[in-house]
Amino acid sequence: MSLHIYDTSTRAIREFVPVEAGRASIYLCGATVQAPPHIGHIRSGVNFDVLRRWLTRSGYDVTFCRNVTDIDDKIIRVSAEEGVPWFVVAERNQRAFTWAYDTLGCLPPTVEPRATGHVPEMITLMRRLIDRGHAYASGGDVYFDVRSWADHYGSLSNQKLENMRGAGDTDDESCKRDPRDFALWKGEKPGEPTWPTPWGPGRPGWHLECSAMATKYLGPTFDIHGGGIDLIFPHHENEIAQSQAAGDAFARNWMHNGLVKIGAEKMSKSLGNSLLIPEMVQKVRPVELRYYLAAPHYRSSIEYSEEALREAAAAYQRIEGFVTRAAEVIHDVDADAPLPQAFVDALNDDLGTPQALAVVHEVVREGNVALSRGDKEAVARLLAETQNMLDVLGLDPRSPQWRGTGSDLSPVVDALVAVALEQRKAARARKDYAAADAIRDQLTAAGITVEDTPHGARWELSR
């Protein structure tokens, strides 16, 4: 079975057939950087990181474009509230997002364009739309004329134009031909940043930014456009309208991830329940938080709770425990070992991570049985399968992302703990159990957990 994904535009699961054989192009709506990220923001990054990894593992050369919206009404509002320039707000929060993506193991995008760096491309797109009769300038603004695209507008969100209300994206609606027209360009206002255009100075509208950046880096037709389900309307609907009205086929497939909610409410800063990433990684390790966000199907909602987070952390620790114990017995893992077919089928069926992780846990259970039997051949095979599956999901505990780099203190800790364990072993051999327990207690106080196994004592940092 080849990869099949749910396409929002057709509301059906379709076979993934790339524009260009052997290559896959993805545009993901990234952050609007008016505030630091909570787990609702970063879920999208994790979900599409798994997609990108799976496409790569499946043999595709992937171009992954994730934009940054660094000018927007919300950014300007925060700028005014704090009394700092808008670019200070944008830069500060973009760095927070980058840190969060990196911390949760998301691979860097192939390209990460900022909206403010692509105003010339936006001007070109507006000119094309005006020349084709799909946009107009009015009062310093430029608007998309939705009635000129009435036969197509609303197809992504499955709405009819007559049932839609006004866009509400400007203070003065009288300059629009139709209340439902949306702003491509917003005319100059006191205290706001501006860029020159043939229609007057101003700043870009949110929807225009993404269309201009997506087509610049991925071409007029590309494979997948992604984002949260809350972006379907109006953002993605407007992207489709302006791009196709300008003559671009635009995205072949639309993928949308579900939201993270608390008490049936969408997470947002205004609700006061924004679980920021720095706070979350104090509750669980980053890899455990990634597991929590990747484990549900990407299209499902996540109802956040502390209990569910703890359960996810415990589930990951069971996987990690097998990998750690098996790696002490098997030192060379076959990175080219084939993936279990059930795992492949799960991810090819609309990126079914719940089913894929069920396969991982089943292999781990088999691996633990093989360890208890001392069957090294089976352990080697099952460890290779487990690590290769976890690599696809970005969850391999032995990867540099989660083990740290060679510049950390692991070798020093290894040496010091080894000495302590030898002393403890000698104490146990002479039946001086009080001394052995004292050494173990000292290690525990230092944040090191000792486990006695049939192969001798092993240690790990306390959780």
Looking at the DSSP bridge assignments, the partners of residue 25 are 63
Span 52-75, mean pLDDT?
A: 97
Q: Report DSSP letters for 162-216, one per residue.
A: GG------SS-GGGSSSTT-EEEEEE--TTS--B--TT-SEEE-HHHHHHHHHHH
Q: What pLDDT sits at residue 442? A: 80
Span 311-338, mean pLDDT?
A: 94
Looking at the DSSP bridge assignments, the partners of residue 63 are 25
Q: What pLDDT sits at residue 407? A: 41
Dihedral angle sign, alpha carbons of residues 114, 120, 125, 126:
positive
pLDDT, one tens digit per residue, over 103-113 is 999 999 999 99
Span 287-316, mean pLDDT?
A: 97
Q: Which residue has the tokens 């800790």?
A: 413
pLDDT band at 433 (very low <50, low <70, confident <90, very high): confident
Span 290-309, mean pLDDT?
A: 97
- Tell me the residue ranges of DSSP E strands in 239-392: 250-257, 260-262, 265-266, 302-303
Reply yes or no on whether the pLDDT at 413 is more than 80.
Answer: no
Q: What pLDDT sits at residue 405? A: 40
What is the C-alpha separation between 81 and 71, in angstroms, rounded?
16
Reply yes or no on whether the pLDDT at 20 is more than 70.
Answer: yes
Q: What pLDDT sits at residue 406? A: 39
Reply yes or no on whether the pLDDT at 270 is more than 90.
Answer: no
How many whole angstroms from its chain centre is CA 378? 34
Span 77-84, mean pLDDT?
A: 96
Catalogue all structural domains in the chain, each as residue range(s) with its CATH number.
4-257 (3.40.50.620), 302-403 (1.20.120.640), 410-461 (no CATH)
Reply yes or no on whether the pLDDT at 392 is more than 60.
Answer: yes
Per DSSP, 81 falls in state: H
In the predicted model, what is the mean pLDDT of the chain?
92
Q: What percent of the chain lies above the pLDDT cut of 70?
A: 91
Reply yes or no on whether the pLDDT at 273 is more than 80.
Answer: no
The pair of structure tokens assigned to 205 is: 């509208």
Lowest-pLDDT choice from 149-158, 172-181, 280-289, 314-323: 172-181
Span 170-186, mean pLDDT?
A: 88
How many whole angstroms from its chain centre is CA 430? 54
Q: What percent of the chain lies above the pLDDT cut of 90?
A: 79
What is the C-alpha separation between 150 and 166, in angstroms, rounded?
14
Span 398-425, mean pLDDT?
A: 69
pLDDT, one tens digit per residue, over 195-211 is 999 999 999 999 999 99
Span 47-55, mean pLDDT?
A: 98
